[in-house]
Structure 1
Amino acid sequence: MTIKTRLAGGVASAALALGAAAPAMAEGELNLLTWEGYADPSFIAPFEEATGCTVSATYVGSNDDFAPRLAAGGGVFDLVSPSSDSTAPLITAGFVDPIDTSRLDRWDELYERFRTSEGINSDGQVYGVPYAWGAIAFMYKPDAFETPPRSLDALMDPALEGKVALWDDKSAIYVAARMNGDMDIYNLSDEQIAAAQETLGEMRSNVRKYWSSAGELVDLFASGEVVLSNTWAGYQSALLAEQGIEVVEFIPEENAEGWMDSWMVVSGTPNEDCAYQFLNMAISEAGQCGVASVNGYSVANPVAARECMTPEQFEALHQDDPAYLDSLLLWENLGPRLGAYTNAWNAVKSQ
């Protein structure tokens, strides 16, 4: 039984609660620039009915997509949901506005580590509302391996020529750096970045595809083209399970990155009232069990999660396990080094 199935009851209850406690009708249109699953009808439709705010979504495949889309201007988007290593350029460029946390009924319930993250705090102001978190784990098809992979070294196995996939994202530099023994992955020197780029180049013959969406990776595994890849832990594996395809997730010996996504309000949005209604929904039971159900991710509000999950589900998603979160290499803002990482990754893809 998948997380999506197990949480269905919780999402339904949360949706009913949203309708029962509906705020005053705001009426407006919200355009989201976000990840797959973050605007799923299972929790968006009740929100629209309760508030009068209609929601449409454009999906990204990488954190590198947010800044260019906002830089294009035109007032297209109202809310965005980047990860914590990619928020600084949006804040610095003035693409997003500070959050008025007094307008968020359940702000204080969010994990303190996320509320105080440097990824959403700048110059004494808050710029993001933590939503979901998880690991960038790896997954494999067990019938393709006599011995289950445990190390990132498996990515270089000659027997896997053309059978590996990697996420089309600068985080591939983080993976290669760990393969090289450079564990301070968010503070790499120019030499270490160059070494990571070289490692990725050496791996190129094994890589069938740099995937850019959840569905693309699912299709690669379903067709048998790929047997090993990094993955948004809990999501693509659940989608494959629904097709009866067995995959196994694992945290490599070289550890895994952790991520946290936050909702940010685009500067100058004409739909601010709807935006704040959405933010309140996102960190309530409706939004928290909504994303947990659809994506299989852990969530930022453990109080809401405890209300709409069974104890078993709460534990499975590590909501009561700060040691698990602490064990991950949680993404950090790269600051002025962002360009070096991004340029190295683009150079790898152009080979």
Structure 2
Amino acid sequence: MKGKKLSVLSLLAVSAMILTSCSSSNDASGVKIEVPDIPMHESMGDFEGELNIVNWAGFVDPKWTNKFEADTGCKVKPRVAGTSDEMVTLMRTGQYDIVSASGDAALRLIVGGDVQPLNVELIPNFGDEIATGMRNNIYDTVNGKPYGVPIGRGANLLQYNDDITKGAPASWDVVWETDSPYKGKITAYDAPIYIADAAVYLMHHNPELGIKNPYALDKTQLDAAIALLKQQNTIIGEYWSDAVAQITSFVGGNTVVGTSWEILRKFAGKPNIKTTLPIEGSTGWYDSWLVSSKTKNTNCAYAWMDYTSTSSVNGAIAMNFGMAPANVAFCKSSPTAQAHCDEFAAEDEEFFKKVWPWTTPIETCVDGRKDVKCTSFQEWTNAWLTVKG
């Protein structure tokens, strides 16, 4: 994917980076996916002395790595990646032990044999305190085997300039339909995974297409999504992958409505720049730690996953980046923590039931269909290139 996310601390200095009204649970049960047979770690042993991490900016910080290093002797060596594509490429070199992958990278790594299934008995902090909605999702749980330890999540919301819209738009139609009153002042995310946003809109407004999961599109359904994206292209003001540029465009008045993240609204620092979750639902990003199948530092990797799953450390990562923490016990730890959780809907599963986590499109239909072949990530990438001409 093109640009992903930026940490709260680095956002102003660095640029990087659905469904119907029913539940958007991306449940992994009942879908058989062909993956390489890779053994999982059986028991903990001596720490190897280092841990090479591919991570989003803000996920690895001395505020919590120093204690981990002192406790384990595992020297943390982070490598910030700006996109999911970069993360996949780096992990496939075999030089990194663990990655903080979003769902649009996680399933690619699992199917490619680049990461290993996890022995959750060796990760005791991956327990009951982890948000229900971040468990057993198809992007990091395959054929009943967990490959990922949840870190945090967020929704791709509709951002709007309230001075102009005079209230929250009820529907995503203001960014998709040619009669939008904001034609020429609309922004959209510049990445193939944005095809899923078109699919979410079609699920609600064109049920005859039979789309049940926006990441499980057969050829006809993908063609319909691309047609909608090409229609949107005629009213788009700009596409964005640079978060700083997106904020600047909203604050400067060049953009009125478009897809965004809650943290970007905060960075805008303007009371008229607001976000909403429209009636159709939305896509979103759910991040997990995944361990390389080639790592020689497995014990350090497991220790890191366990340590960062504690409520205090997981909460620190969530606040540092700007997202809902996976470990919701953090929310009750202080008034500040509770305010953060409330702002990012960390404990609101009804909210996240309307959010479809990014999931790599693969030929196996993750909606459970077995009578058709679904389109792959490569097909989505090729199709995206046709959208903007």
Normalised TM-score (structure 1): 0.79
Partner of 2:256: 227
Contact 1:25 1:50 in 2 (8 A): no
- Structure 1 Cα separation of the partners of residues 149 and 111 of structure 2: 17
Choose the corresponding residue for 2:162, options 127, 139, 142: 142
**Does residue 191 of structure 1 match 2:216?**
no
Q: CA deviation at 1:270?
A: 3.3
Give per-residue Cα distances to partners, 1:293-342, cap 9 Å, x unaligned. Answer: 12331122223443356444444443433222223334455331333333
Deviates more, 1:127-136 or 1:44-53: 44-53
Aligned residue identity for 2:241: S
Unaligned runs of 5+ in 2: 1-7, 10-45, 364-374
Partner of 1:267: 293
Partner of 1:324: 351
- Structure 2 Cα separation of the partners of residues 112 and 254 of structure 1: 22
Contact 2:104 2:360 in 1 (8 A): yes
Q: CA deviation at 1:281?
A: 2.6
Sort the Cα spacing of 1:291 and 1:172 in 2 relative to 1 into closer, same or farther, 3 A. Answer: same
Q: CA deviation at 1:290?
A: 1.6
Sort the Cα spacing of 1:82 and 1:347 in 2 relative to 1 into closer, same or farther, 3 A. Answer: farther
Q: CA deviation at 1:96?
A: 0.8
Partner of 1:8: none
**Does residue 122 of structure 1 match 2:142?**
yes
Sort the Cα spacing of 1:36 and 1:201 in 2 relative to 1 into closer, same or farther, 3 A. Answer: farther
**Does residue 302 of structure 1 match 2:334?**
no
- Structure 2 Cα separation of the partners of residues 320 and 235 of structure 1: 17
Choose the corresponding residue for 1:209, options 228, 235, 238: 238
Partner of 1:291: 317
Q: CA deviation at 1:40?
A: 4.5
Partner of 2:59: 38
Partner of 1:175: 197
Sort the Cα spacing of 1:150 and 1:55 in 2 relative to 1 into closer, same or farther, 3 A. Answer: farther
Give per-residue Cα distances to partners, 1:192-242, cap 9 Å, x unaligned. Answer: 21122122112224334332243342233344332322112x22112222x
Deviates more, 1:75-84 or 1:330-339: 330-339
Partner of 1:67: 88
Sort the Cα spacing of 1:209 and 1:66 in 2 relative to 1 into closer, same or farther, 3 A. Answer: farther
- Structure 1 Cα separation of the partners of residues 78 and 284 of structure 2: 28
CA RMSD of aligned residues (A): 3.0
Choose the corresponding residue for 2:95, options 54, 73, 76: 76
Normalised TM-score (structure 2): 0.72
Partner of 1:239: 267
Unaligned runs of 5+ in 1: 6-23
Partner of 2:79: 57
Sort the Cα spacing of 1:26 and 1:218 in 2 relative to 1 into closer, same or farther, 3 A. Answer: farther
Deviates more, 1:303-312 or 1:251-260: 303-312
Give the number of the structure whose residues are more often helix, by fraction. 1
**Does residue 92 of structure 1 match 2:114?**
no
- Structure 2 Cα separation of the partners of residues 311 and 39 of structure 1: 22
Partner of 1:348: 387
Q: CA deviation at 1:253?
A: 2.2
